[in-house]
Structure 1
């Protein structure tokens, strides 16, 4: 079974995926541009701040790249945008956990501080939520395009479908 077979292509949730990706991508691009405008050293960890978060040249470039990926997903739209949102959101959450453990250690090569960790968690959860909206749930309504694509032409009788034994 191919995962793409069960996902509907044309549905109203497409707008949620696109707007979420575009807004979060735009925020990341602005942060990255502000960091590059300050001409920060690539691996500098002296605590230079942009928008109340510490940054260096590498973090600015990574912010631009991840913002670009989200904007690309917004342009493509559909299930691709949803999948990109979920993946990028998960990476941001993982980055938040990693940098939470390496605060004030030499492994903190992106010069994260606690404000960066919180930002990483918030943006990660926000982007992932945009990607999962209406797609991932145990109780999708029967008019949801994902529910319909998974259950074929089954009619909504108000009761749950019986699983085959």
Structure 2
């Protein structure tokens, strides 16, 4: 029993390590996460900079707009910060970008609901209007979609790195079955190739 538990823990630890390193720069999923973070981050950064250029008051709740969205100085600074964070996620890529997209997506949705309730009140310190609420919902859904793409779902293919990380026993079983049907010379050659793959180190 103890041996089985130790083996399970070792398998889980190895799977987590592989999950951290399984997305090289040219991986299809990595490109999705980076594109999503980069596009939305760039838009938010531009939106915030334009708001600051217009020198709108930090807590002005008037009708100052940038690209059709109501704004003030506080919202501009917040947009710049979030935009820069998403651009950092684009540069780093991998699991970081995926998780960042999902977390910020949830926050945008919650922010939309929050300010939907604060419209036309004195607590609306970010000067939200209904178009800002819709924008927050749209950005939140887009970020969540980009972040969850290929990572969340009940029908992920068995070669998906996230599926493999969640099912280490099944992966080892598949590898054992595959190696059982592979000639010894081919197994030795494949082992030599794997030893030189940087994404497995």
The two structures have a TM-score, normalised by structure 1, of 0.88
Structure 2: which 5+ residue stretches go unaligned?
1-11, 178-201
Q: Is the 8 A contact 2:59 2:126 kept in 1?
A: yes
Question: Which of these residues, 76, 85, 107, is aligned with residue 60 of structure 1?
Answer: 76
How far 1:8 moved relative to its partner? 4.8
RMSD: 2.0
CA distance in 2, matches of 1:26, 1:4: 31
The reply to whether residue 155 of structure 1 matches residue 171 of structure 2 is: no
Q: Give 1 or 2: higher helix fraction.
A: 2
Q: Is the 8 A contact 1:6 1:146 kept in 2?
A: no
3-state DSSP class of the match of 1:41?
A: coil
Q: Which aligned pairs between 1:1-165 and structure 2 lie closer than 5 A?
A: 4-5=16-17, 7-11=19-23, 12=27, 13-152=29-168, 153=171, 154-155=173-174
CA distance in 1, matches of 2:17, 2:138: 32
How far 1:6 moved relative to its partner? 7.0
How far 1:150 moved relative to its partner? 1.9
How far 1:125 moved relative to its partner? 0.8
The two structures have a TM-score, normalised by structure 2, of 0.73
State the partner residue of 1:163.
none
CA distance in 2, matches of 1:149, 1:4: 6
CA distance in 1, matches of 2:64, 2:111: 20
Q: Is the 8 A contact 1:86 1:131 kept in 2?
A: yes
**Against the structure 1 CA distance between its residues 69 and 7, is the aligned structure 2 distance closer, same or farther, given a 3 Å change threshold?**
same
Q: How many residues align?
A: 157
Max radius of gyration: which structure?
2
